[in-house]
Amino acid sequence: MLSSIGVPGLILIVILALIVFGPKKLPEIGKAAGDTLREFKKSTKDITSDVTDEVNETKALIKDEDGK
């Protein structure tokens, strides 16, 4: 995703962010964005794990029914 932006585009984005938000507010925004991404990844991992567990339980039930 970021590979299509390139280094000049990334530098431009950082400069614009510094102009709009200022150097004091930018670290807070970055931390908030990082926390949000971390929580999103954790939630996605939990949901994927729950779905995988349900699928495995369903497969086990189907095997038990076929074996009887």
Whether 67 shows a pLDDT value over 70: the answer reads no
Range of the domain at 45: 25-68
The pLDDT tens digits of the residues spanning 3-49 come to 677 888 888 988 998 899 888 898 898 899 999 999 999 999 999 99
**Residue showing tokens 């510094």:** 18
Has this prediction a pTM greater than 0.85? no
Largest CA distance in the chain: 70
Residue 1 pLDDT exceeds 60: no
Domain assignment present for 1: no
Contact between residue 10 and residue 2 where contact means Cβ atoms under 8 Å apart? yes
Dihedral over Cα of 19, 21, 25, 30: its sign: negative
Mean pLDDT of 42-60: 95
In a domain, 4, yes or no: no
Spatial distance between the Cα atoms of 68 and 11, rounded to a whole number of angstroms: 65
Q: What is the pLDDT of residue 63?
A: 86
* Rounded Cα gap, residues 66 and 13, in angstroms: 59
The answer as to whether 12 is a domain residue is: no
